[in-house]
Amino acid sequence: MDRPLNLGLAGIGTVGASVARILTEKQEHFSKMTGRPIEIKAVSARDRNRDRGVDLSGVDWFDDPVRLAQEADIDLFVELIGGADGPALESVKAALGRGIPVVTANKALLAHHGVSLARLAQRKNVTILFEAAVAGGIPIIKTMREALRGNTVSRVYGILNGTCNYMLTRMEREGVAFEDVLREAQALGYAEADPTFDIGGFDAAHKLAILTSLAFGTEIDLASIFIEGISEISLDDIKAAAELGYRIKLLAVAQRTDSGIEQRVHPTMIPAGSALAQVDGVTNAVAVDTDLLGSILIAGPGAGGNATASAVLSDIIDAANGVYVSTFTVVPQSLTAYKRARMRAHEGGYYIRLRVADEVGAFASIARRMAENQISLESIVQRKASDDDGSVAPIILITHETTEAAVRKALEAVSRDGHLRGEPQTIRIETLA
């Protein structure tokens, strides 16, 4: 039997309590895996007296996680505090600075400081493990950092926010409008009181920033991500998508193009018959397109105490086994600067829904604007909108592959022509491998 792995646990919320409880309850299970006992040596949390369903009486308590990271007699520091800066950042830096490996579930920390932390870890010859930071229980970090290492990645994309996916699924299945589904999600605890971080696409963007770095060996650049949330998606869009053979998902996509790397989060139409389109409710999924492998898809729970704890525990056992992997796949000195591909250069098909005044020449003018911008149309559907009173003709256009710039220019011209009632709706169509 090897020497125990002494673990310092900072942050004992839902995930931290799950981790502590499972390590205690499954002690025998874990020693079968490693031959090395894992012991919680020190913890840090604000409230010592809260019942967390696990006995932490023999454990060293620290009020300050930074002091825990600096002083505790530990072999591994597990950061479950959260937040991009403050005690999370300071404690992780302190642990790495002492040459102690770190396990973290903190996507914001990595999206903002991942590269500098990776360099610090490299200097100290220790590893940062963060399976739980992206897509909860889905082993996408291990897959990208280890299983795909022979591959050159061309695109990584997925459903990375369970709140949005739950809401879109409910809208599609039950025909419930966005605002009502949001209230329902908030009541169920799937959405926060201020839901902006989720439904605005920012949570998915943080996760995408990390996946981009793993995929392309580039420095993290959260600020360059094009972000569009789901709040403008209407039941009309969802119904039209279904009729056209698509489903609407909030996708996060990072893709290598001729001009750089595209990073984008936006509502996306994907073929209804694809496996990704069946990923419903709070489930997450990530797909990776590569040169050798072709494409793989991993789907599973993206959140929840136990699912996230499962990812943290896998990292803890890797640390117990002395696994060393470079933080973002390649060694930090090989990380290249992120070269942004402008969103205007994005190429793809588009769904465009217009509410057009019912007057002579309106449609001819729209058709002309599309042609002027070299946009060719795959289909044109005239549908009755749910709030249609006869004065407007709702028109849906599906374009062949074109560019974001062409679509924006065409729609600006159409708007100037004065035939539209309300803003045009555009949803990008993603071609899956």
- Binding positions for NADP(+) are 10-17
Q: Please report whether residue 326 would count as binding its own copies according to CB under 8 A.
A: yes
How far apart (Å, rounded) are the C-alpha atoms in residues 204 and 227? 9
Q: Please report whether residue 281 would count as binding its own copies according to CB under 8 A.
A: no
8 A C-beta contact, residue 240 and residue 395: no
Q: Please report whether residue 70 would count as binding its own copies according to CB under 8 A.
A: no
Q: Please report whether residue 334 would count as binding its own copies according to CB under 8 A.
A: yes
Residue 149 or 384: the one with the smaller Cβ distance to its own copies is: 149
From the list 181-189, 219-227, 323-331, 378-386, the region that binds its own copies by CB under 8 A is 323-331
HEC string for 139-193: CHHHHHHHHCCCCCEEEEEEECCHHHHHHHHHHHHHCCCHHHHHHHHHHHCCCCC
From the list 99-107, 199-207, 326-334, 339-347, the region that binds its own copies by CB under 8 A is 326-334
Q: In the set 8, 16, 65, 139, which binds its own copies (CB under 8 A)?
A: 139
How far apart (Å, rounded) are the C-alpha atoms in residues 89 and 109? 7
Q: Please report whether residue 14 would count as binding its own copies according to CB under 8 A.
A: no
Point out the catalytic residue in the list 93, 207, 239, 384. 207
Q: Please report whether residue 259 would count as binding its own copies according to CB under 8 A.
A: no
Q: Please report whether residue 309 would count as binding its own copies according to CB under 8 A.
A: yes
Sequence-separated (6 or more) residues with CB below 8 Å from residue 96: 102, 117, 120, 121, 124, 126, 128
Q: In the set 223, 293, 364, 381, which binds its own copies (CB under 8 A)?
A: 293
Strands 294-301 and 283-290, how do they pair? antiparallel
From the list 229-237, 317-325, 347-355, 367-375, the region that binds its own copies by CB under 8 A is 317-325
From the list 153-161, 218-226, 300-308, 398-406, the region that binds its own copies by CB under 8 A is 300-308
339 is catalytic: no
Q: Please report whether residue 314 would count as binding its own copies according to CB under 8 A.
A: yes
Q: In the set 149, 183, 384, 421, which binds its own copies (CB under 8 A)?
A: 149
8 A C-beta contact, residue 356 and residue 421: yes
Sequence-separated (6 or more) residues with CB below 8 Å from residue 358: 390, 391, 392, 393
Task: Tell me which residues in 30-49 interact with its own copies (CB under 8 A).
Answer: 30, 32-33, 35
Helix crossing, 362-372 with 404-417: angle to 10°? Answer: 150
Q: Please report whether residue 193 would count as binding its own copies according to CB under 8 A.
A: no
Q: Please report whether residue 413 would count as binding its own copies according to CB under 8 A.
A: no
How far apart (Å, rounded) are the C-alpha atoms in residues 124 and 100? 8
Q: Please report whether residue 131 would count as binding its own copies according to CB under 8 A.
A: yes
Closest distance between its own copies and the C-beta of residue 410, in Å?
Answer: 34
Which of 278, 282, 409, 426 lies closest to 349, judged by CA?
426
Q: In the set 2, 27, 29, 86, which binds its own copies (CB under 8 A)?
A: 29
Annotated binding site for NADPH: 107
Q: Please report whether residue 290 would count as binding its own copies according to CB under 8 A.
A: yes
Cα of first residue to Cα of last residue in the chain, in angstroms, is 47
Closest distance between its own copies and the C-beta of residue 41, in Å?
Answer: 19
From the list 22-30, 98-106, 155-163, 416-424, the region that binds its own copies by CB under 8 A is 22-30
Closest distance between its own copies and the C-beta of residue 407, in Å?
Answer: 29
The DSSP secondary-structure symbol of 420 reads B
Q: Strand ranges (DSSP E) for 22-65?
A: 38-44, 60-62
Sequence-separated (6 or more) residues with CB below 8 Å from residue 367: none
Number of other residues whose CB lies within 10 A of the CB of residue 185: 22
Q: Please report whether residue 78 would count as binding its own copies according to CB under 8 A.
A: no
Closest distance between its own copies and the C-beta of residue 239, in Å?
Answer: 18
Closest distance between its own copies and the C-beta of residue 295, in Å?
Answer: 6
How many binding residues for its own copies (CB under 8 A)? 61
The DSSP secondary-structure symbol of 234 reads -
Give the long-range contacts of residues 362-369, CB within 8 A, separation 24 or more.
362/393, 362/419, 363/393, 363/395, 365/414, 365/417, 365/419, 366/395, 366/414, 366/417, 366/419, 369/410, 369/411, 369/413, 369/414, 369/417
Q: Please report whether residue 275 would count as binding its own copies according to CB under 8 A.
A: yes
Under the rule (CB under 8 A), what is the footprint of its own copies?
Answer: 18, 22, 26, 29-30, 32-33, 35, 131, 137-139, 142-143, 146-152, 217, 273-279, 290-301, 304, 306-307, 309-311, 313-314, 317-318, 321-326, 329-331, 334
Residues forming the active site: 207
